[in-house]
A and B are shown apart, each in its own frame.
Chain A
């Protein structure tokens, strides 16, 4: 079936599972002249570096810092696209925007743009920003349900018992009938809900614009951000799948956690700073939360001093639960095969980001 899109149309956003590959009779009306802000030897960028680009379009230069780009020479060629795959692009990117006023479009190979977002970017009204939304969602949904089952079937206990050759039967919990609360009901949140529904879970969605999800067939209730505490009090499993923006930083604070249901489990696949990590550690230590599954943390790599390493009831992963062998490459393919083809034909670009809102 077709996943219910954020705007209800399925035309503005890409989803790896349901979107129909691009095809068009439209004429090519302009050339894409591309700068790549990333590593020259990044094999995941091969669809761009070595692949077939639309006629007339070309890759002008690749670099990580401003010095890598021959500004006077490139200025003559009037680059209009920047493809970002580097980890710390914020400053360099703004410098490139300054140096090349002909830039009209920036595409991020990642979905999160918190590492690119800035006031400068928000102010650059002539630049359209797109990202890789919808490219990793199902993988993270799989992780989410695994994290739920990890606690429901008490996987840590199984592993402990095995070490001691201990055959003790114990009761397991069902996910069926339990409630999954999704904070940030975007593409990832929806993919997780789709799976949760197959398990027979109830789903509560929370998003900035609840009306956009009215009638969504895969969630039972939709809340606005002001109802966060209600969601916390009703959910057995809480999935944080929101982007990091000014509005979401520290959203899951001590107050929200205090409203958590008994034996609730918190799962974060969004960004670490959305959860107040100290409050989280407190709640995990004193039993307020049964456990947490964290693929993201405030600091990454997680410093060895962090108490999260030693808490038994934490499932920790190194921000890799969407890292498949092909996901980055597929992301670049999306840029080349979907959005670049649209750009050169003057057509509407998929996955446009609201630069002010930050996602």
Chain B
């Protein structure tokens, strides 16, 4: 019996209580009926959202369960190699854990040389799992793909794939590539709300007054009623919108394909890309959240022009990638008071060099690209690969979280 039809005939699949199954019916009317925007995956006229994973909303273990009860669902084997740093514990579930039926780990390494023994073996890998911990992953991955033409699937452990994208890799764009989209979103949404409140309640003033033992009352601002503008309305953007919405904030979103979010109940306005759209968003937002990936299109996108368009007293938050922002323009906007402040978890250069002006600007909250770094986040990302995408692969199902290496996300 084909795996997918077996799955659809099962009523209860998940061990945890499901919010809404990811593999849902394809009737657009049932998707459009999703008025309770908080727990339902947003309606998508192109019916694409079932291909993506969200840690909070997706039903886990559907296909691992299937393999357990019906081994004949296996269509093919997964023979995996892992491009990783030598002692990366986050990959435990893959390197040391029990893999789903039909899956084998052939080897781990940081360079092509580490896989030399495999080249003459009769067991050729068909899956490569690449972690950002792998030094020079950008160089090594195309070499590995060239050496093992049997590879039919690349999975990136992280959400950002900029660490691995290159012209050489684009030469392999025919190979499906997937990532960890949706794995880190809620942590970053929590950080976003904290960053907004940091300025709204003037946390720096509180800490100053405490140092001075000064009990002086002052007015605070509410987030309620304010506008959050989200540049790059992907999974992280939506996670922020979900919480901001409950705070009573208005949401303005910007993405390459605005039609996908047109019926998203969380967004009040959705813009496409283009300079005038971005400037419009900047002029309407009290809090701007930049959660876009770093691609050829987005590099330097938030520039001096954009900062000129901001609303008075706006706050800029960047938790996507540093290169999306023109840092000089940002510093200028902060120093001149055009921006009330900024909260930055990412920078063009990381670690941020001590000479960077950001350290000395008082109205900036700096974090060392760790606001999604929970004790388990990378472990969970590996577990997602092992428990969700590997079973789908061996069952011949669509893989979750496809990315386009040419577009860059």
Give residues in A with beta carbon < 8 Å to B. Answer: 17, 138-139, 142-143, 145-146, 149-150, 152-153, 155-156, 158-159, 161-162, 165, 167-176, 194-195, 197-200, 300-302, 304, 309, 314-325
CA of A309 to CA of B210, assembled, Å: 6
Could you say which of B217, B223, B247, B371 contacts A172, with CB atoms under 8 Å apart?
A: B371
CA of A105 to CA of B223, assembled, Å: 34
A324 and B220 contact, CB distance less than 8 A: yes
CA of A156 to CA of B191, assembled, Å: 14
The verdict on B99 contacting chain A, using a C-beta distance below 8 Å, is: no
B197 and A142 contact, CB distance less than 8 A: yes
CA of A247 to CA of B213, assembled, Å: 32
Could you say which of B200, B220, B366, B371 contacts A162, with CB atoms under 8 Å apart?
A: B366
B242 and A142 contact, CB distance less than 8 A: no
With A172-B374, A173-B374, A198-B246 known as contacts, the answer to whether A319 contacts B194 (CB < 8 A) is: no
29 residue pairs of the A-B complex, CB under 8 angstroms, read A138-B222, A138-B247, A142-B200, A146-B194, A146-B198, A149-B191, A149-B197, A153-B367, A159-B204, A161-B368, A162-B365, A170-B368, A170-B370, A171-B375, A172-B374, A173-B374, A174-B374, A176-B56, A176-B190, A194-B246, A195-B243, A198-B242, A198-B243, A198-B247, A199-B190, A302-B215, A318-B215, A319-B217, A320-B219
Could you say which of A150, A169, A301 contacts B370, with CB atoms under 8 Å apart?
A: A169
CA of A316 to CA of B215, assembled, Å: 9
CA of A315 to CA of B193, assembled, Å: 17
Q: A149-B190, A162-B366, A318-B217 are in contact. List 14 more A-B contacts (CB 8 A).
A: A17-B248, A138-B224, A150-B203, A155-B203, A158-B366, A165-B359, A170-B368, A172-B372, A200-B56, A200-B186, A315-B206, A316-B206, A320-B220, A324-B222
**Distance in Å: Cβ of A194 to nearest Cβ of chain B:** 6
**Distance in Å: Cβ of A311 to nearest Cβ of chain B:** 10
The proximity string for B residues 189-211 relative to A, scoring 1 for CB distances below 8 Å and 0 otherwise, is: 01101100110110110110110
CA of A152 to CA of B207, assembled, Å: 17
The verdict on B218 contacting chain A, using a C-beta distance below 8 Å, is: yes
Residues of A with C-beta under 8 A to B209: 316, 318
A321 and B243 contact, CB distance less than 8 A: no
**Distance in Å: Cβ of A324 to nearest Cβ of chain B:** 6
With A198-B38, A200-B186 known as contacts, the answer to whether A317 contacts B222 (CB < 8 A) is: no
CA of A324 to CA of B248, assembled, Å: 16
CA of A152 to CA of B247, assembled, Å: 19
Residues of B with C-beta under 8 A to A171: 370, 373-375
Residues of B with C-beta under 8 A to A175: 190
CA of A117 to CA of B42, assembled, Å: 50
CA of A199 to CA of B354, assembled, Å: 35
Residues of A with C-beta under 8 A to B56: 176, 200
Give residues in B with beta carbon < 8 Å to A. Answer: 38, 56, 186-187, 190-191, 193-194, 197-198, 200-201, 203-204, 206-207, 209-210, 213, 215-224, 242-243, 245-248, 350-352, 354, 359, 364-375
B186 and A176 contact, CB distance less than 8 A: yes
B201 and A318 contact, CB distance less than 8 A: no
**Distance in Å: Cβ of B275 to nearest Cβ of chain A:** 33
CA of A139 to CA of B373, assembled, Å: 29
Residues of A with C-beta under 8 A to B365: 158, 162
With A169-B368, A325-B219 known as contacts, the answer to whether A146 contacts B206 (CB < 8 A) is: no
Q: Return the chain A residue nearest B206 by Cβ.
A: A317
CA of A315 to CA of B210, assembled, Å: 8
**Distance in Å: Cβ of A265 to nearest Cβ of chain B:** 14
Could you say which of B191, B216, B352 contacts A167, with CB atoms under 8 Å apart?
A: B352
The 6 closest A-B pairs by CB, nearest first: A149-B194, A146-B197, A198-B246, A301-B215, A167-B351, A320-B217
Residues of B with C-beta under 8 A to A138: 222, 224, 247-248
B219 and A323 contact, CB distance less than 8 A: yes
Residues of B with C-beta under 8 A to A156: 207
Residues of B with C-beta under 8 A to A170: 368, 370, 373
Could you say which of B219, B246, B367 contacts A158, with CB atoms under 8 Å apart?
A: B367
B220 and A139 contact, CB distance less than 8 A: yes
B215 and A167 contact, CB distance less than 8 A: no
**Distance in Å: Cβ of B211 to nearest Cβ of chain A:** 9
Residues of A with C-beta under 8 A to B371: 153, 172
CA of A277 to CA of B43, assembled, Å: 51
Residues of B with C-beta under 8 A to A152: 190
Q: Return the chain B residue nearest A142 by Cβ.
A: B223
Residues of B with C-beta under 8 A to A167: 350-352, 368
B217 and A142 contact, CB distance less than 8 A: no
Residues of A with C-beta under 8 A to B375: 171
**Distance in Å: Cβ of B225 to nearest Cβ of chain A:** 10
CA of A195 to CA of B246, assembled, Å: 6
Could you say which of A139, A309, A316 contacts B222, with CB atoms under 8 Å apart?
A: A139
Residues of B with C-beta under 8 A to A172: 187, 191, 370-374
Residues of B with C-beta under 8 A to A320: 217-220
Residues of A with C-beta under 8 A to B366: 158, 161-162
B190 and A321 contact, CB distance less than 8 A: no
A195 and B247 contact, CB distance less than 8 A: yes
Q: Return the chain B residue nearest A156 by Cβ.
A: B207
**Distance in Å: Cβ of B60 to nearest Cβ of chain A:** 15
With A198-B38, A316-B210 known as contacts, the answer to whether A150 contacts B194 (CB < 8 A) is: yes
**Distance in Å: Cβ of A56 to nearest Cβ of chain B:** 35
A155 and B198 contact, CB distance less than 8 A: yes
B369 and A169 contact, CB distance less than 8 A: yes
CA of A163 to CA of B197, assembled, Å: 21
Residues of B with C-beta under 8 A to A301: 215
Residues of A with C-beta under 8 A to B219: 320, 323-325
Residues of A with C-beta under 8 A to B204: 159
Residues of A with C-beta under 8 A to B201: 142-143, 146, 317, 321
CA of A173 to CA of B191, assembled, Å: 11
Residues of A with C-beta under 8 A to B352: 167
CA of A199 to CA of B189, assembled, Å: 9
A142 and B186 contact, CB distance less than 8 A: no
Residues of B with C-beta under 8 A to A195: 243, 246-247
Q: Return the chain A residue nearest B372 by Cβ.
A: A172
Residues of A with C-beta under 8 A to B369: 169
Residues of A with C-beta under 8 A to B215: 300-302, 318
Chain B CB within 10 Å, residue with most, of A155, A197, A304? A155
Residues of A with C-beta under 8 A to B224: 17, 138-139, 142
Q: Return the chain A residue nearest B358 by Cβ.
A: A162
**Distance in Å: Cβ of B310 to nearest Cβ of chain A:** 21
Chain A CB within 10 Å, residue with most, of B56, B197, B220, B248? B220
CA of A197 to CA of B207, assembled, Å: 28
**Distance in Å: Cβ of A85 to nearest Cβ of chain B:** 16
Residues of A with C-beta under 8 A to B370: 169-172
With A146-B203, A304-B213, A324-B220 known as contacts, the answer to whether A169 contacts B190 (CB < 8 A) is: no
Residues of A with C-beta under 8 A to B210: 309, 314, 316
A153 and B220 contact, CB distance less than 8 A: no
